[in-house]
Amino acid sequence: MTTSKRWFWVGTRTAVRDACASLLGGPPSTGTVGRGELVVIEPQASPAAAAAIGLPQLPGGHAFAAVHAWKGAGVEVYVVVDDGDSIGVQLARFCLANAVLTWDASRGRLDAAELHAHARPRTKPSLDDLLARLEPQLGGSRGESSLQRLLRFEREDSIGNRLQDPETGLFDGPYATWKLDEEWKRAHRFHQPLSLLLLDLGAGLQSCSDSERRGLLAEASGVFLNECRDIDVLARFAPTVFLMLLPGTGPLGSEVVANRILAALRQRFASQPEVRPAGGLGSVPSAEIPDRRSFLALTEACLRRAEAAGAGAVCTTWQ
């Protein structure tokens, strides 16, 4: 596969870079990465690797944070992982990389199957085409169609709105409790990882005026929504504590997310000393956690330990 767009290499291994150059039809570019351009990055990439192509810094300070940042800026990002590195694959997918390229060092070969699939043109009509064809036929003698009913339900006051916390727009505590039970059962049924993040903005928030407190809560909620995926469950669980369920995410991936959220909060509230965020993380499967109540209790113990450590801390163990 060759590409007409500029592409950039951020990594440390010359052999991998040369394999990418052969695949993409030319040497990598240098300079500022722009919207719509392509970056190929290794998990081992460092700020020095970014400087080597003329970038002022590696966004976020490490490879997976850079993937997330570039994706948000409209850049295509491909992560090169070593053959057999399942954790690297999970982290790349969690950070929404466009594709994962596998490097087999023993054969000096780059498996770019995902890259070819990503570039392959569509041969079938899209779902939008299908909906455009069906629209004139909807309803008719058979009455309201399933699609029309769905659209009507979306326009009406949804149950989601009734389960929202009024000050943040996130879900409320009772809904979070129900989702915790649901996601716990799903994780055990399908043998998938599940992580729980409890994040406290700090007791100082309670001393703010009502209008100031609402403003700070709204800003914090915006950070959570920006840093998490659509499938994550975000809820206000207590006056200053937020519960975040991260399906399909193990200990390493959840720690990346938690630190990213804490860093964004510190940056956003640098001039607000009353906001002192700290986070506690729990992940299953774990021999220490037999049920969802233990899951929540252990994670809260991690949160208390993080609060004792000081603002900005994330703890993954309660001991």
- 205 — pLDDT class (breaks 50, 70, 90): confident
| pLDDT given at position 126 | 62
Give 61's pLDDT tier (boundaries 50, 70, 90): confident
Q: Does residue 43 share a domain with residue 97?
A: yes
The most distant pair of C-alpha atoms in the chain lies apart, rounded to whole Å, by: 67
pLDDT surpasses 70 at 87: yes
Per-residue confidence (pLDDT) for residue 308, from 0 to 100 = 92
Residue 144 domain-assigned (yes or no) = no
pTM to 2 decimal places = 0.57
pLDDT in tens, 134-156: 666 555 555 677 767 777 776 76
- CATH number of the domain bearing residue 255: 3.30.70.270
State which of 119, 149, 173 marks the end of a domain. Answer: 119
* pLDDT (average), residues 283-300: 93
- State the pairing for strand pair 38-41/7-10: parallel
With respect to residue 139, please indicate whether it lies within any of the assigned structural domains. no
* Count of C-beta atoms within a 10 Å radius of residue 104: 13
Domain hosting 296: range is 162-315
Q: Which of 55, 87, 119 is the last residue of a domain?
A: 119
Q: Does the pLDDT value for residue 121 go beyond 70? A: no
Q: Give residue 11's pLDDT.
A: 87
Most confident of 48-52, 272-276, 295-299: 295-299
What average pLDDT does the structure give for the chain? 85
Model pLDDT, residue 2: 61
Helix (H) or strand (E) holding 19: helix 14-24
Domain termination residue (choose one: 119, 136, 153): 119
Please tell me the predicted confidence (pLDDT) of residue 157. Answer: 61
Identify whether residues 90 and 200 lie together within a single domain.
Answer: no
Range from 73-77, 92-96, 151-155, 182-186 that averages highest in pLDDT: 182-186
pLDDT in tens, 226-283: 999 999 999 999 999 999 999 999 999 999 999 999 999 999 998 888 899 999 999 9
Nearest to 262 by CA among 236, 237, 280, 282: 280
Task: Assess whether pLDDT exceeds 70 at residue 117.
Answer: no
pLDDT at residue 122 tops 70: no
Token match 């007409």: residue?
4
Same domain, 172 and 290: yes
CA distance 280 to 285: 17
